[in-house]
Amino acid sequence: MTRLRNRRIIVVAGCAMWLRAVLVFVSIGAPSAVRGEGAMMSDKLDPNLTMLCETATAEERGEAIGVLVAVSRPADREMLEALAARGFAVRSVIGTILTGTVKIGILETLAEYPEIVKLEGSTPMQRE
């Protein structure tokens, strides 16, 4: 009985991960957020990351957070090195979806990289 339950949990967790990846691509056409006096925040950042960039204190801007990154083509060594040079620490690569960490203070700069289509904050799949 325990094995069956564990398999169900794994299947549900896997489905949730792929659903999240699909949602990243669906939200690509979403309108960008407006910040300050009409200056446009990068439309590549999800609304939560946009708010985080706007409200983070100087101390918080130095903290690294987990993100999902959608890129325009399958990631190769050159792209991964370019992202690493911009402060993105890659954790995993699945085709055109990357996971990793980046400091809050450089999210907007990272979003300017032309191969990045969307940046989304990662969230735990289970409560801890």
- pLDDT tens string 49-102: 999 999 999 899 999 999 999 999 999 999 999 999 999 999 999 999 999 999
Q: Helix, strand, coil % (nearest 5) of the chain? A: 45, 25, 30
Handedness of CA 83, 88, 89, 92 (dihedral sign): negative
pLDDT at residue number 86 = 94
Q: Could you tell me the two tokens for 18?
A: 């792929």
14: three-class secondary structure by DSSP: helix
Between 85 and 28, name the one with better pLDDT: 85
70: three-class secondary structure by DSSP: strand
pLDDT at residue number 46 = 93
Spatial separation of the C-alpha atoms in residues 63 and 108, rounded to whole Å:
14
